[in-house]
Amino acid sequence: MGTNYKPGNAFWMAEKTKMADQQDKSRVELETYSKEALIEMILQLKKEKAVALSEIKDSERKNNNAEILESRREPKTLQREEKQMRGSHVCKDRKMRQQKQFDFSRYNKRHIALKLSYLGWVFHGFASQENVENTVEAHLFEALKKCCLIEDRASCNYSRCGRTDKGVSAFGQVISLDVRSNLLDGVGVIQQNSEKVKERVGKFDSLSLMQKKKKKKKKKI
C-alpha cells in the first residue's frame, strides 16, 4: 500500500466510495435473484469453502510430516558424520604411525649445482623472506625436503649465484647444495663415515648380490 493511501486523504476516500458502490451494485443484483437461486449460491459457496479448508489441512499435514521426517533424519546424519570424522582421524593417525622418519645417516651426500628457470610473475622474488612464504626459494626447499634430498637448509651447504625481485623471471639461475646420494664415490660425493651407510651399501652392493646368487646355485647343486 502506497504512502499516499492513508485514512482521511483523497485517495482513501476515493477507494472507500468505490468499494461502497460495488457493494450497492452486488446488493441490487442479489435482490433480483429468486429464493432458490440464492440458496443454490449459498450451498455452492459452502462447498468451495469446505474444499479450500480441506486443502489447507492437507498442506499443513504434509508440512508437519516433512518436519517430523527431517527431525528424525538429523540425528542419524549427525551420527554418520561423526563416524566419518572419527574414521578419518583414525586413518590419519595410522598413516602418521606408519610414516617413519627418514634416516639421512644411511646415505652419502653429493655437492651439485642446479640450473633453474622460472616465471616470477606470481612470486615475491627469488630469495626467502621472513614474513613472506611465496618465494621461489621457499617452494624449492619445500620440494627438496619432500623428496628427502635434504634434511634442512642449514645443513645442506646451500649457496646461490644471485637473486631476483618481485615479479622478475629468470632462465639461468644457478644454485649449489649438498643432496642425498646413493653413490659410493665419484665427483662431488661426500662420504659419510657411518656404520649405517656401510650396512645399507652391503645390502645392495652388486658384488654382495653376486656372491649370494653363487651360494644359492652351489646349494642347489
**Catalytic residue (one of 21, 165, 178, 205):** 165
**Beta-strand pair 108-118/189-190:** antiparallel
Q: What span, in angstroms and rounded, lies between the C-alpha atoms of 38 and 41? A: 5
| SS3 per-residue string spanning 14-82 | HHHHHHHHHHHHHHHHHHCCCHHHHHHHHHHHHHHHHHHHHHHHHHHHHHHHHHHHHHHHHHHHHHHHH
Mean pLDDT (the chain) is 78
Residues in a beta bridge with 154: none
**Per-residue pLDDT tens over the stretch 133-165:** 899 999 999 999 999 999 999 999 999 998 899
Which whole number is the average pLDDT over 184-189? 85
Q: What span, in angstroms and rounded, lies between the C-alpha atoms of 62 and 42? A: 30
Percent of all residues in the chain with a pLDDT value above 90, rounded to a whole number: 27
Question: Which of 20-24, 38-42, 114-118 holds the top average pLDDT?
Answer: 114-118
Which residues, including other chains, have CB under 8 Å from residue 176's CB and lie 6 or more apart?
111, 112, 113, 114, 157, 158, 159, 160
Question: Which of 3-7, 62-66, 93-97, 171-175 holds the top average pLDDT?
Answer: 171-175
Which is higher by pLDDT, 86 or 37? 37
Note the pTM of the prediction, 2 decimals: 0.47
* 205 noted as active-site residue: no
Which residues, including other chains, have CB under 8 Å from residue 32's CB and lie 6 or more apart?
none
Q: What number of CA atoms fall less than 13 Å from residue 41's CA on the CB side?
A: 7
Which whole number is the average pLDDT over 189-193? 82
Question: Cβ distance 150 to 180 under 8 Å?
Answer: yes
Which is higher by pLDDT, 181 or 205? 181
pLDDT of residue 89: 61
Cell numbers representing residue 217 in the block: 646355485
Percent of all residues in the chain with a pLDDT value above 70, rounded to a whole number: 63
Q: What span, in angstroms and rounded, lies between the C-alpha atoms of 162 and 62? A: 73
**Per-residue pLDDT tens over the stretch 32-69:** 878 888 888 888 888 888 888 888 888 888 887 777 76
pLDDT at 1 over 50: no
Which residues, including other chains, have CB under 8 Å from residue 144's CB and lie 6 or more apart?
150, 156, 177, 179
Q: What span, in angstroms and rounded, lies between the C-alpha atoms of 144 and 60? A: 65
pLDDT of residue 2: 47
Interhelix angle 195-204/206-220, nearest 10 degrees: 50
